[in-house]
C-alpha cells in the first residue's frame, strides 16, 4: 500500500502531508472526493489548517485519490480505531509503551504478548505504529489493571526492546 501512495505523491510533499494525516486519523475519501469519518464530512480548510498547508493542497490530494481506483479502494476502506492510551488510566487500565530498537523486527509483538500473559495480565488493546507513517514507531499495550515491576523487568529483557514506559 505505502509504495503505491509514495509513487503517486513522491513529487508533492505537501500532498504527502495530507495523505499522512488521512491515514493517521483513519479518514476516508467519499465518492464526492470529500474527506469523511464515517458519514461526517470534515472541511478541507480544517485539515489544511491542522497540517499548515493551503486548502487547495487538500483539494488536489482528494482529487488525485478520487481519480485513481487503487487509491480510492484504500481511502474508502481505511477506518479509525478507538485508541485507549490516553484514557486508560482514567478507566483503571494499565499502559505499556515499548520503543523498539528496530520497528521492522519480527516477533516483537508476540514476545511482548507472551510476557504479559505469563504474568497473568490480560491485554485489552495492542496498537503498533506503522513505521512508514510514524517517525518513532511504538508498540502500545493497554492492560487490564496495573503493570507490576516483575512484568516491567521481563519486558526490558526482550530482544529488540529499546525502552519501556509504564503509566
Domains of the chain: 2-77 (no CATH), 88-166 (3.30.70.260)
At residue 167 the predicted structure's pLDDT band, cuts being 50, 70 and 90, is confident
Residues 6+ apart with CB under 8 A from 52: none
Residue 2 predicted with pLDDT over 80: no
Q: Which residue stretches of 10-131 are H helix?
A: 13-25, 44-51, 55-66, 69-77, 108-118
Cell of 1: 500500500
Given this model, what pLDDT does residue 25 score?
92
Task: Report the relative pairing of strands 139-144 and 93-100 from DSSP bridges.
Answer: antiparallel
pLDDT in tens, 132-146: 778 899 999 999 988
pTM here is 0.81
At residue 57 the predicted structure's pLDDT band, cuts being 50, 70 and 90, is very high
* Cβ neighbourhood burial of 116 (10 Å; 0-12, 13-18, 19+): buried
Q: Percentage of the chain with pLDDT > 90? A: 82
> CA–CA separation, 85 vs 142, rounded Å?
7
At residue 3 the predicted structure's pLDDT band, cuts being 50, 70 and 90, is confident
Q: How confident is the prediction for the chain on average, in pLDDT?
A: 94
Classify the C-alpha dihedral 6-1-21-104 as positive or negative. Answer: negative
> CA–CA separation, 30 vs 55, rounded Å?
17
pLDDT in tens, 8-44: 898 999 999 999 999 989 999 999 999 999 999 999 9
Q: Can you say how many angstroms the Cα of residue 20 is from the centroid of all Cα atoms in its chain?
A: 10
* Cβ neighbourhood burial of 131 (10 Å; 0-12, 13-18, 19+): middle
Amino acid at each position: 500500500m505505502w509504495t503505491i501512495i509514495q509513487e503517486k505523491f513522491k513529487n508533492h510533499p505537501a500532498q504527502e502531508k495530507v495523505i499522512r494525516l488521512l491515514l493517521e486519523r483513519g479518514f476516508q475519501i467519499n465518492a464526492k472526493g470529500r474527506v469523511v469519518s464515517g458519514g461526517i464530512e470534515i472541511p478541507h480548510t480544517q485539515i489544511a489548517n491542522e497540517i499548515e498547508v493551503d486548502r487547495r493542497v487538500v483539494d488536489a490530494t482528494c482529487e488525485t485519490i478520487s481519480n485513481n481506483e487503487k487509491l480510492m479502494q484504500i481511502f474508502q476502506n481505511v477506518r479509525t480505531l478507538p485508541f485507549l492510551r490516553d484514557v486508560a488510566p482514567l478507566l483503571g487500565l494499565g499502559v505499556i509503551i515499548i520503543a523498539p530498537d528496530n520497528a521492522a523486527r519480527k516477533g516483537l509483538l508476540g514476545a511482548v504478548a507472551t510476557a504479559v500473559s505469563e504474568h497473568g495480565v490480560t491485554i485489552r488493546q495492542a496498537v503498533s505504529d506503522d513505521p512508514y507513517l510514524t517517525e518513532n514507531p511504538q508498540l502500545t499495550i493497554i492492560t487490564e489493571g496495573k503493570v507490576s515491576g516483575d512484568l516491567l523487568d521481563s519486558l526490558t529483557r526482550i530482544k529488540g526492546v529499546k525502552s519501556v514506559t509504564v503509566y
